[in-house]
Amino acid sequence: MELLYGLITGILFGFFLQKGRVLRYDKQIGALRLQDMTIVKFMLSHIAVAMVGVYLLHDFGLVKLSLKPTILGGVIIGGLLFGLGWGLLGYCPGTSLGALGEGRWVAFVGIIGMLVGAGLYAEAYPYLQKTVLTWGVYGKITIPQILGVNHWLVIAPFVVGTVFLFRWLEKKDL
């Protein structure tokens, strides 16, 4: 049953990604070249809506958070590496499948590359586990936790800031 939910959720997400024109190479690289912020608009809209929704539900005890631990070595080095590759590929792991779905079939070459990358990481994992992944381990922490404030005091400024960013992007026609 869970598998079926996964498929349905993916279909809905892929549908909206395509409708928002987020899957295109030109849009992804357009954002990285600071020429077209479509994917940033999409991502931040998703985040703002889901942030409010999930924390509301969390306050009522209806959902559990699922935090990834903060390991500075892994997140910073891995994040930068991901970004470097992303700028060359022009798709991220999720959107590569979507790009293939709308006929941009060079994404398939990228998918094969990503499978190779995953295989290489599996080879390197025992070594990385003893080195990079031990640098700056802080566990599952959130911004409100480190600031020592209620989460709504972070969510409200985040949402307001996002709206101001959107207005600025529209004014600059990005």
Residue 32 near another protein by CB under 8 A: yes
Helix axes 107-130, 93-101, angle to 10 degrees: 160
84, two tokens: 């470097």
CB of 61 to another protein, least distance (A): 12
CB of 1 to another protein, least distance (A): 9
Amino acid letter, residue 65:
L
Number of residues that bind another protein (CB under 8 A): 125
CB of 157 to another protein, least distance (A): 11
Residues 58-117 within binding reach of another protein (CB under 8 A): 62-72, 74-90, 92-107, 109-117
Backbone region of residue 90 per phi and psi (left: phi > 0; alpha: psi in -120 to 50; beta: other values): left
Residue 159 near another protein by CB under 8 A: no
Residue 130 near another protein by CB under 8 A: no
- Rounded to 10 degrees, the C-alpha dihedral 86/18/20/22 comes to 10
